[in-house]
A and B are shown apart, each in its own frame.
Chain A
Amino acid sequence: MARPGGRSKALWPTLALPGVAWLFVLFLIPLYVVLAIAFGTLDPIFRSPVPVWNPLQWNFSQAQYVLTHIVGANGFYGPPILRTAEFVVIASALCLLIAYPVAYYVARYGGKRRGLLLVLLIAPFWISYMMRMLAWVNLLQTDGWVNKALSLGGLFPVDINWLNGRPLTVLFGLVYGYVPYMILPLYAGLDRIQPSLLEAARDLGASKWQTFRRVTLPMSKPAIIAGLLIVSLPMVGDYFTNDLLSGSPNTAMFGNLINNAISSPETTAQGATFVILMFVVLLAPMLYYVRSTRAEEGT
């Protein structure tokens, strides 16, 4: 007698094959290439990185150089790493503070205009990140529109040089650049909360604030975590915002360390080491997210 579900045993692995192949070709192999470069050698003439594919022949000198210059007396990589953590935490928190009310309004009160509001929220994605930052370089010039607005059209003398290496400008750029990525997952999460649950809370005597605090906010926790991850993970590797809005080593971020290292062929292996380090560190929040969503699905 044929086993029930015998066909489905082969079906699901087959359907998963394209995804597995994609993961292998576009993630695992490139990751291995990064490892091969980080632990590779240098061409003696061109001084360019030569990847070494056999782990038994790996050379750890460049990686060792990076790891021994993060903390301690020679730990000059430490401050930009700490600074990146500060910027990412502050910018992500600001993104959340800005995005949550927007997403809440669209999800709960959008009504017939919800589609239009969603299109307007997605509109920034139509313009590349680089172009949006370049536009801000223009606006933030000493005679740009930002200073003109602050001076109320020239009533007050305002001569702030926003682009001269200010951490505040870099933070502003990060928030501006990444807030659209926070709004959408928050909207999706808030939209899924059943109105009947909120009505039940109100029927049981909860005020609006209590309903928000004890029903809406806890139920939007997965969306908040997803939004924070979507925003903070690429922020860690961001170098362009600092390069464009500051350009000063005093606001250098982790992404700038990678970019600086790979800009010179001799230090590309150091850049690859930074990439591996970033991957390992960011794996923890990713695993936490996967675990927390599994726990949510299990309840």
Chain B
Amino acid sequence: MTEEPPVSRRSGLSRRSFLQRGAAAAVALPGLTALLDACSSASSSGSTSSALQIATPATPVKWPIYSGNAPIASGLEPEMNATLNLYNYVDYIDPNALKSFEKKYAKYNVKVSVTTYESTDEALAKIRSGTIPLDIELGLSYDQIGKMVQGRLIQPLNHSYIPNHANVWDAFTNPFYDVGWQYTVPYTVYTTGIAWRDDKVSTNIPALPNPYSVLWDTQYARQVSVLDDARTCMGMVLLKNGLDINTHSTKDLALVLQQLKALNAATQPKVNVTDYQDVPTGVVSVCQAWSGDAINMISYMPTGQSPKVLRYWFPPDGKGEVDNDLMVILKSSKAPVMAHLFVNHMLDYNVALKNFGAIGYQPPQTRLNVADLVSSGFIPANLSTAIVQPEWFNVGYRILELPPAVDAEWQAVWQEFKAGAH
């Protein structure tokens, strides 16, 4: 009986098999790439022009009304049985505002639902993909408007449906990012400053020659946080050094990187957007914060601890970061008339005031008076500095869109900071 040859314990690939499989892969690859290419061109829309138009206060932009994207006609009846889908940040609208709208237009059987996003970049990607039926986006920042308009993602507004726009500050009648408010209405206004608990921070922050420097103070090591937003955080570093918060200068950005590295080394800050919880609960003692979050901190104070310990600083002359969020109606809206009416509803003074109470972020309503807000107890006196003044939008610094090459430089600095460089 002939012996069987010994079986190799290593059943490796033979040269013939490897060559056969490699040849098969080489034949299949072009087919795969063609298939994937066809799939991607059938899906989300790409941009329609090759350059991004950037709006600045010095070069305001009146956006064109593109053919195929005209505003809706005046005098139309609202849609029956519509479900308005709002796209918004988490907890950034008062649920009662939705209910009051549904009640007001009950005869049209309108329903309002909310889908949330974590960032405007995520929102933009989802809107472009068209996978979710959406009508209105809230919380859009004005540095995204150019992309939204030029990408034909939002529709121009018919002002006849939005008479409550007369309630908003004059600054938003002809904002530089949307002259003639063709596509946008303002939703909230806010500033970016420093928030802290004065029972945990002994430094008199407003009295410092440069209050931003408290975030680098080593006595507060591991008690500091900064906002997880590249433009906001890096803008703060630029302001700290008296520089333009929309700088295109490589030298300025190198300084920002150096100072962010120094921040990592000095106080090992957290980088997040949960300051409104972290400060009240004592996870951090001092942080960079938006004014709306500072007001929201009141709700997160632990039981038995007074919100009177909360403080917020913003330059008293208004020369700090000032911003506003927007409401826009998406081009894909299936109920554009009802969407216009919802936008108008949110600009109603009483609805806007209640929304302010619910979300902490101030609406730019002309009837809102700083003194009244404090004297009525709506905002506690210790957080009166978180109330946004209209005149600050004349002197404050706005975060503007950057050209792609400059934006890439900013991102490189931010990635290096977030990787823990120091």
Residues of A within 8 A of B (CB): 29, 32-33, 36, 42-48, 50-51, 53-55, 65, 76-77, 79-80, 83, 141-143, 161, 163-166, 243, 246-252, 256-257, 260-261, 263-267, 270, 294-295, 298
B positions within 8 Å CB-CB of A: 9-11, 29, 32-34, 36-37, 40, 46-52, 119, 121, 124-125, 128, 146-147, 150-151, 222-223, 225, 230, 264, 268-272, 274, 281-284, 302, 404, 407-408, 411-412, 414-422
A-B contact count (CB 8 A): 142
Contact, CB under 8 Å: B272 / A247: yes
Q: Which of B124, B283, B420 has the most CB of A within 10 A?
A: B420
How many whole Å from B39's CB to the nearest CB in chain A? 9
Of the candidates B271, B421, B422, the one whose C-beta lies within 8 Å of that of A247 is B271
Closest Cβ–Cβ distance, residue A217 to chain B (whole Å): 24
Contact B36–A248 (Cβ < 8 Å): no
A143→B48 CA distance, assembly (Å): 54
Chain A neighbourhood of B417, CB < 8 A:
249
Q: Which 3 A-B pairs have the closest CB atoms?
A: A45-B47, A247-B270, A249-B420
The distance from the CB of A28 to the nearest CB of chain B, in whole angstroms, is: 9
B36 touches A252 (CB 8 A): no
**Interchain Cβ contacts under 8 Å between A and B, 24 examples:** A29-B32, A44-B51, A44-B52, A45-B47, A46-B128, A51-B40, A53-B34, A79-B419, A143-B281, A161-B222, A161-B283, A164-B268, A165-B268, A246-B270, A247-B271, A248-B420, A250-B420, A257-B419, A261-B415, A263-B121, A264-B230, A265-B121, A266-B411, A294-B9
A143-B302, A165-B222, A264-B121 are known contacts. Are A251 and B420 too (CB-CB below 8 A)? yes
Residues of chain A within 8 A (CB-CB) of B121 are 263-265
Residues of the B chain whose Cβ atoms lie less than 8 Å from the Cβ of A263: 119, 121
A183→B414 CA distance, assembly (Å): 40
Q: Is the pair B404, A44 in contact by a Cβ cutoff of 8 Å?
A: yes
Q: Can you name 17 extra interface pairs (CB under 8 A) apart from A46-B124, A250-B420, A256-B419? A: A29-B32, A44-B51, A45-B146, A45-B150, A53-B36, A76-B421, A77-B419, A141-B282, A164-B268, A164-B270, A247-B272, A249-B264, A249-B418, A260-B415, A264-B230, A266-B411, A298-B9
Q: How many Å from the CB of B92 to the closest CB on chain A?
A: 19
B284 in contact with A164 (CB, 8 Å): yes
